[in-house]
Amino acid sequence: MSTSPPVLAAEGVEKHFRLGRRDIPVLRGVDLQIHAGEKVALLGASGAGKSTLLHLLGLLDKPSGGRVLYDGAPVHDLPVAERARLRHQQVGFVFQFYHLIPELTALQNVLLARMMATSVLGYWGQRKQARAAAKALLEQVGLGDRLHHRPAELSGGERQRVAIARALLAEPKVVLADEPTGNLDSTTAKGVVDLMFSIQQERGLAFLLVTHDEGLAGRCDRVVRMRDGVVVA
Amino acid sequence: MYRLFLALRYLLTRPINLLSIGGITISVWALVVVVSVFSGYLHVVEQHVRTASADAAVIGLPPWAEWSRLSKVLRDDPNVAAAAPRLAHYGMLQRPGQRPPPAPLPGRGALIGGDQPFLSVIGIDPAAELETTGFAGWLVAPEVPPALRCADPAAPLAPRDGRPTVLIGLERMQREGLAPGDRVVLTTAALDTAPDGDKAPRKVQLELTVGGAFKTAHAGFDGNTVFVALDTLRHELYGERDDFVPEIAVRVRDERQLDATVERLERAVQAATERDSRGFGRVLTWRQKHELYLGNVAHQRGLLKIVLIVIMVVAAFLMLATLSMMVTEKTGDIGILAAMGGTPLGVTTVFLSCGLVITGVGIVLGLGSGTLTAVYLEEIRQGVRWATGVDLLKVDVYGLDRVPCYLEPVWMLEVAGMALLTGLVVSALPALRAAFHDPLVSLRGS
């Protein structure tokens, strides 16, 4: 394991949701560290708090207690715009349901990641490089001939590959994948996982994979098990 | 960049947005076209009123007002070119032995005139009038047939057949079938004051000979006005007060100084008619004198604007509905936009941009098509009439020869501003709903 500070860390992270007058604890003091180049599987039953933890680590939500640190610096309490900027620069997300924008082609869905942080003029100046990078990524995930297809014209596996390319275009340090194969058949799932892991290895990304699948978890460097909002192993 | 890009993609992939664009376009089009036509009409009416009016008028003069004195006061002003005494009264005209026609039906206006029995009877001094107003031109207007013209335009009210003469508007002459030399009776009333101060009306009937027709551009004036000699009318109404003048028409040398001249003249007239430390008489510009009539037309245009703005409100609701539907459909995208680094403000901007693009396109199309329609409305009208036989706008009802149109750049800017503001408000509501949508809800669902 690396001696440098973890790329991503959770320290005593808690999360409560209010349901009427009831305060429901979902995470109860979770500690987790992920280093650059490390693949970590987050395993647990439904309701264990895996996705909630992933959202907190990806700065999509604020913890009720504890801290989230990027490169050793606390980031959980930053203003909305600053957290959005960090999310864009440091984190790539892959979700079970792909979340591609149906109006856009595969290429446009990937390019959208580059457009997020640039102005119209800024993007216009770098549009050729952006298109080249997006095309290269789509070719890397095996979709070089599907650039101008819309999500409705792609299979589940192809959609997930587009989502992976989109997550990688902004060159993040961390990829957070929430059950990325949960919606795919086993053959397609294996192909998608192989692709993700090869890119992870090639780029030295920190990789947090939320899954129910013991087999998939076994292919990671480390498995973190959660139960009832706490890390149990 | 993503805001504008997504906004355009959302718009281009949803044909229903054309409805919103169409709604804004139609409302802007209607506001431009209808108001331009009404403004054109107001413009034409102003021109017509102007041609039938003196530059300024002295009105409300007291019983002791004397023409000999006031005319000198007026001519002393450096900007006064000419002045003419007038006596404005009312009456009815009928052929001898006939009753006057019945009063008009309730609500029947006198826009053109000539279709109701009550007339404005103006007593004039022809020589002074010829110098002061467009009177000379009214008598020899090309529309007046030679058979209806007065025999001597230089002395149009000279007695004929031993009787005073009357000049009648062309439309009324033609409708009544009158011709120069015909006898008519003018029925009016005078208000006599008894030595004890009591006032009592007195019927006055004056036998006149038709001298000829006159024609101004203002059909309402022509249809409702007759001219008789000032001396004749004054004698019948006020007896021997030969120098009394109740109203004076004024022509100025420089119309650009009309307002200042009118103020000066009013001070001078009030000084000349002062009694018990109080001055009498008012001096009005032609526009002020007809303020009520012109104001009515302008007021109707204002009401029409309000009615037309309702179309914009309907278009706004249409746009609100389509944008709300779009936001409901696209809540799934809000999660991934947040995950990629989007902020609530960014999400708001995406949907706000959708609304503003719809509004902008609608405004451009509306202003463009509205301007073209307004400019070529007469050609469109004639084209429709040629193709279908239907006359969409019967301009002759208003005494016009073509559909008037006056494009007001300020109004067009106001329309664009109104549409933009409406679009902004209507877009902001669904956009804010999108901004407050929890992205995690979208990410958790399928």
The answer to whether B423 and B359 have CB atoms below 8 angstroms apart is yes
**Digitized pLDDT (tens) for each residue of chain B, 446 residues in all:** 888 899 999 999 989 999 999 999 999 999 999 999 989 988 988 998 999 999 999 999 998 999 999 999 999 999 999 999 999 999 988 888 887 766 655 555 444 444 567 889 999 999 999 999 999 999 999 999 999 999 888 899 999 888 999 999 998 888 889 999 999 999 998 888 877 878 888 899 999 999 999 999 888 888 889 999 999 999 988 887 888 999 999 999 999 999 999 999 999 999 999 998 898 999 999 999 999 888 988 898 889 888 888 999 999 999 999 999 999 998 888 888 988 888 889 999 999 999 999 999 999 999 999 999 999 999 999 999 999 998 888 877 777 788 889 999 999 999 999 999 999 999 999 999 998 888 888 887 65
Q: Which residues contact B195 (CB under 8 A, 6 or more apart)?
A: none
Q: Which residues contact A116 (CB under 8 A, 6 or more apart)?
A: A88, A170, B1, B2, B337, B340, B341, B342
Residues of chain B in Cβ contact (below 8 Å) with chain A: 1-2, 4-6, 9-10, 13, 332-333, 335-346, 439-440, 442-446
Instruction: Report the distance separating Cα B326 and Cα B318, nearest Å.
Output: 12
Report the first-to-last Cα separation within chain A, whole angstroms.
17
- What is the reported pLDDT for B218? 87
Taking an 8 Å cut-off on Cβ atoms, the answer to whether A122 and B446 are in contact is no
Q: Does A113 contact B at CB distance below 8 Å?
A: yes
- Parent domain of A106: 35-61+88-220
- What is the reported pLDDT for B377? 92
Identify the band that residue A195 occupies on the pLDDT scale cut at 50, 70 and 90. confident
- What is the reported pLDDT for A183? 81
Is A13 a domain residue?
A: no
Instruction: Report the distance separating Cα B246 and Cα B85, nearest Å.
Output: 8
The one-letter amino acid at B160: R
Is A24 a domain residue?
A: no
Is A19 a domain residue?
A: no
- List CB contacts (< 8 A) between A170 and chain B: 340-341
- What is the reported pLDDT for A96? 87
* Rounded to 5°, angle at Cα B189 from B184 and B192: 140
Alpha carbon A61 to chain centroid, angstroms:
14
- What is the reported pLDDT for A185? 86
- What are B244's strand-pairing partners? B66
Measured in angstroms, the CA of B343 and the nearest CA of chain A are apart by 6
- List CB contacts (< 8 A) between A103 and chain B: 6, 9-10, 13
Residues of A163-174 as b/e, b for ≥16 C-beta within 10 angstroms?
bbbbbbbbebbb
- List CB contacts (< 8 A) between B349 and chain A: none
Measured in angstroms, the CA of A208 and the nearest CA of chain B are apart by 15
Alpha carbon B395 to chain centroid, angstroms:
15
Measured in angstroms, the CA of B16 and the nearest CA of chain A are apart by 15
Angle formed by the axes of helices B409-436 and B17-51, nearest 10°: 160
Taking an 8 Å cut-off on Cβ atoms, the answer to whether A116 and B9 are in contact is no
- What is the reported pLDDT for B350? 93
Q: Provide the phi-psi class of B316: left if phi over 0, else alpha when psi is between -120 and 50, else beta.
A: alpha
Instruction: Report the distance separating Cα A159 and Cα B35, nearest Å.
Output: 54
The answer to whether A40 and A211 have CB atoms below 8 angstroms apart is no
ipTM of the complex: 0.87
Taking an 8 Å cut-off on Cβ atoms, the answer to whether A84 and B343 are in contact is yes
Pairing of strands A8-19, B80-94: unpaired
Tokens matching residue A195: 């692709």
Identify the band that residue A11 occupies on the pLDDT scale cut at 50, 70 and 90. very high
Taking an 8 Å cut-off on Cβ atoms, the answer to whether B1 and A113 are in contact is no
- What is the reported pLDDT for B199? 84
Query: What CATH number did the domain enclosing A115 receive?
Result: 3.40.50.300
- What is the reported pLDDT for B373? 95
- List CB contacts (< 8 A) between A123 and chain B: 1
Is A99 a domain residue?
A: yes
Instruction: Report the distance separating Cα B234 and Cα B332, nearest Å.
Output: 88
